[in-house]
Amino acid sequence: MATALVTGATAGIGGAYAKLLAKEGFDLVLVARDLPRLNKVAKELGKTFGIKTECIKADLTKPAQLAKVEKRLASTTKPIEVLVNNAGFGIKDSFLDSDLNREQELLDVLVTAPMRLSHAVLPTMVKRNKGVIVNVSSVASFIAGGTYSAAKSYLTVFTEYLHTELRDTNIKVSALCPGFTKTEFHARGNMKMGGLPNYMWTDVNNVVKKSWKYAKAGKVICIPGWQYMMLSTIARIAPRPIVRKAGINVRRKQR
């Protein structure tokens, strides 16, 4: 039976992805910082879908803990067929006011971790000529909305590069670029989201379902929701001064 590894697997997009993959019959390696919650999710998914689960407690800002996940991804005896780089968080403060250590952690989780984890798993995928990598980016990667936006821009472009590099193989690499999705993400970041109209929110299960469909079809970018398809298209063709202004306005409303 094939095995999938999901980071940030206890809630939100990661939790929804773990459930979807379990439903499709994948054994799971679940990665997160909260071990009790991780074990609970693993037990529930194993019981509901009759799959095998492994848990790796890891804070991806810590090199030694990140290395544990890399080692599992590099395994040739129990190869990983699907990698979902989902772990992440946001910082609501302006870069001028934010804590530098927190900014470094943002880069560690959103940039360094997916890069290193992809690098760890790809040799085995290439050898088997089979595999899927889903990088959970953001529609924010198309605007200039703070260091979170900048980090997600890296992830989107990195995905596009890998997708092209591997175009002659059976390995699929796709970036999920969601907009505002109903998860714990904004609450954990203490972001003010009360003024956002209901039509701007998307359902996490629908987001993940579309992402997986796109990934299996070999499509490099998935932007769930008509509203975000429109906004991302405008962001990519509009003059950059307008895009920059819109990005800073979005950031200020979240503080």
Cite the active site residues. 148
CA distances from 146 to 90, 141, 252 (A): 10, 10, 10
For the chain, what is the HEC assignment? CCEEEEECCCCHHHHHHHHHHHHCCCEEEEEECCHHHHHHHHHHHHHHHCCCEEEEECCCCCHHHHHHHHHHHCCCCCCCCEEEECCCCCCCCCCCCCCHHHHHHHHHHHHHHHHHHHHHHHHHHHHHCCEEEEEECCHHHHCCCHHHHHHHHHHHHHHHHHHHHCCCCCEEEEEECCCCECCCHHHHCCCCCCCCCHHHCECHHHHHHHHHHHHHCCCCEECCCHHHHHHHHHHHHCCHHHHHHHHHHHHHHCC
Q: Which residue has the tokens 């190869």?
A: 79
Inter-CA distances, 87 with 38, 108, 112, 119, Å? 13, 11, 11, 16
Gap between the terminal Cα atoms of the chain: 46
